[in-house]
Amino acid sequence: MIYMASHLITKKTRFFKALSDANRLRILKMLQVKPLCVCEITDILQLAASTVSKHLSILKENGFIKEDREGKWVNYKINYGSSDPRIAAVLTSLEFWIADDKIIASDKLKVIKVDRNEVCSR
């Protein structure tokens, strides 16, 4: 019984840890605008591709995002079809908590303008 309770707390802790990083929150807000590839996210965040990949991996492991292959592209997008109701609740509340943040607003403009054909060929 103690093991099962401990396992549930550990799972919930990982869920909240996934949301405890500003760059992961920025990624979620960017993906609410449109699906993006690693190169596009890297360009907007100005982080190393390996760092962005780690953030994406954490968000994916916790069910917030999913990836789709489209030809040579791997697109990351919000997992709106998650069976976990916490995912929908968090994604909805992000609008309330951080939508008016200046960095989030700036990221949104960058997402609209980013051109994968340009940034992925560098």
- Residue 114 clears pLDDT 80, i.e. is over it: yes
The pLDDT tens digits for 47-71 are 999 999 999 999 999 999 999 998 8
Long-range contacts of 89-95 (CB under 8 A, 24+ apart): 90/19, 90/64, 91/28, 91/32, 91/64, 94/25, 94/28, 94/29, 94/32
Domains of the chain plus CATH, in order, are 2-119 (1.10.10.10)
Whether 104 contacts 98, CB under 8 Å: yes
pLDDT higher than 90, residue 32: yes
Q: Is residue 100's pLDDT more than 70?
A: yes
Question: With 60 as the cut, is the pLDDT of residue 2 above it?
Answer: no
How sure is the predictor about 40, in pLDDT bands with cuts at 50, 70 and 90? Answer: very high
Contacts 24+ apart (CB under 8 A), 82-91: 86/15, 87/63, 90/19, 90/64, 91/28, 91/32, 91/64
Residue 14 has pLDDT above 60, yes or no: yes
